[in-house]
Structure 1
Amino acid sequence: MNLADGCHYCHSGEELAFLAGPPAEAPDAVVGAIAADPHDHWSGEQWEFLYRRFASRLIDLVRARRVDPGLTLRPFGPSYANLANWPVQERATTENALGDTLVGALKHWPTHELVVLLGGLACAYDDLTPWLARLDTAPAAEGDIIRLTCYWTTSLLWGDDDWFTWWHTDDPVTPVREWTAAVRPRVERFARAHPECKTARDTLTAYDHLDRGGISPWWYPGHGWTQWERRGLPGQFGWLRPSAAN
């Protein structure tokens, strides 16, 4: 594929030659920079060419947390490289690599970074639910599911639903609300089995307030800071902190 008409403001001639040449020879910085290109810097055919040849490299960069996961995964979507139209086996291989990255992130990434990753994955098919379904079958992930559920239920109480920077959807709340409702029995079982887990207890508290249409029992971070300082306490005194132990 000829990439010589690529934007020379964003890529040098040498970088364009790397992108068109043997994939293994392209530096990581050049590969990772593709995702930041505006939609109209490449044709649909060029986006697909670039993402098909560099998919495994880009996913490795995401897995290593060397790039913005939402920005890097966005071009798998229908307006860019359009993963849905790739050959069946190639698409399945890429989906599984993305799914494995998600499961690893569930276990090892901070929750807010996991949510950014989920937003990037949702771009692929303009749908969050297939990726949430992969979390449901993640092995030995109960405590990790609790942390994500706590994050989302407390955010729903605060009305803080601006989770996804690169997935542009009119309704980010419904898939999150439906998923948190579906995993509630898991949270309840975990809380009974681990009564010492504050994260599980806080999540049940959040469920209860959501059921009653109540307001959050926790001050929103930032607002609460000044409230606690006025009482002579550290600003972070009342912050909701998930337990690291479960």
Structure 2
Amino acid sequence: MSGPQRQLHTALDALDDAFASEAPFTVTGCAYCYGEQDLAALSGPLNGISDDLLAAVAAETPDHWDDFPRLYRRLAPLVVRSVVTGTLHVDEDLIASRLVRAGWTTWDAPLAEALRDVWQTWWQSTLHTHPTPVRIRKTLGLLTVANASLRPWLSTWTATRTPAADAHLADLLDDVLCEFEITDLTMGFYGEYDAGAELLDWLLTDVHDRVDDARLADPYLLDHHRAAIGRPHQRLP
């Protein structure tokens, strides 16, 4: 296990410790979708919640619960660990949107700080490991939407010149350049973050020396970039 991977596991354990103070409470909600047994499990110890029930609740619309923010806050350690390890089997874009709706940045400081530490160590571990349980686009999208910012994650990527980081870069290009999706790229299940122009500018400037993809030199893409940023584009060598 690499150093960044060990740091991620340490951060996930610290997240569990930080949220240990979140006591069980009586969960109430849609009795049509969730039976008494499900609601009882959600109201009890976290280790009594099955993987299937966790996935269902993690993806569920907030209006199914009488106190969605409290429920999602209590389940956050389970949800986040499962997402990071690729075992939740719920769209990562949806998890990002649910965390935003739950208002995770407004939680008590020890909880929010523990979660921020997981975001940072997950990103570092990702950039030092290839392949990873979660596709790079999904990881970047979750981090961007949950934190309402793309640039910090791109800046870290620029500064991380590892074989894994470059392999992820190639994977991202294969994903977002298909039919030039990057020209209209949003992140988040509901398209909360308009990422196309910012991401394309980064690819054509900050990491252009690490990119070997002829599609980035396509005149259509370069014209789109010039129009989006309002200045002449930088051509790839």
Superposition TM-score, scaled by structure 1 size: 0.64
Amino acid across the alignment from 2:192: T
| 1:23 paired to 2:34 | no
- Partners of 1:160 and 1:212 in 2: CA distance: 10
CA deviations 1:206-233 (Å, max 9, x no partner) are 343357438xxxxxxxxxxxxxxxxxxx
Provide the C-alpha distance between the structure 1 equivalents of 2:145 and 2:167, rounded to a whole number of angstroms: 23
Q: How many Å separate the matches in 1 of 2:161 and 2:68?
A: 34
The one-letter code of the counterpart of 1:100 is T
Match of 2:215 among 202, 206, 217: 206
Q: Are residues 47 and 127 of structure 1, via their aligned partners in 2, closer, same or farther at CA, if it must alter by over 3 Å?
A: farther
Alignment partners' CA distance in 2, 1:92 and 1:138: 23
Q: Distance in 1 between matches of 2:97 and 2:121?
A: 17
Q: Find the partner of 1:55 among 76, 83, 104.
A: 76
Structure 1 vs Structure 2 CA RMSD: 3.2
Q: Partner residue of 1:108?
A: 130
Other-structure match for 1:99? 120
Percent identity for Structure 1 against Structure 2: 21
Asked whether the equivalents of residues 126 and 167 of structure 1 are also in contact (C-alpha less than 8 Å), the reply is no
Listed one character per residue, the Cα deviations across residues 149-201 of structure 1 (whole Å, up to 9, x for unaligned) are 533673584666356460423733133223324432xx41x4xxxxxxxxx42
1:1-246 paired onto structure 2 within 5 Å: 1-4=25-28, 6-43=29-66, 46-66=67-87, 67-68=89-90, 69-77=92-100, 80-106=101-127, 107-109=129-131, 113-138=135-160, 140=162, 141-148=164-171, 150-151=173-174, 154-155=177-178, 157=180, 161-162=184-185, 164=187, 166-169=189-192, 171-184=194-207, 187-188=208-209, 190=210, 200-202=211-213, 205-209=214-218, 212-213=222-223
Q: Distance in 2 between matches of 1:100 and 1:15?
A: 33
With 130-139 and 13-22 compared, the bigger mean Cα shift is at 130-139
Q: Label 1:117 to 1:23 Cα distance change in 2 as closer, same or farther (>3 A).
A: same
Q: What residue in structure 1 maps to residue 11 of structure 2?
A: none
Which one has the largest radius of gyration? Answer: 1
2: CA distance, partners of 1:101 / 1:81? 21
Q: Distance in 2 between matches of 1:87 and 1:105?
A: 27
Q: Is the contact made by 2:41 and 2:48 (CA closer than 8 Å) also made in structure 1?
A: yes
RCO comparison, higher one (Cα < 8 Å, 6+): 2
Distance of 1:133 and 1:42 partners within structure 2: 38
Are the aligned partners of 2:104 and 2:112 in contact in 1 as well (CA < 8 Å)? Answer: yes
Letter of the 2:149 counterpart? D
* TM-aligned CA distance change 1:212 to 1:172, over 3 Å: closer
Letter of the 1:143 counterpart: D
Structure 1 position 109, deviation (Å)? 4.5
Write the distance in 1 (CA, Å) between the matches of 2:190 and 2:142: 6
Within 1, Cα distance between the matches of 2:183 and 2:199? Answer: 12
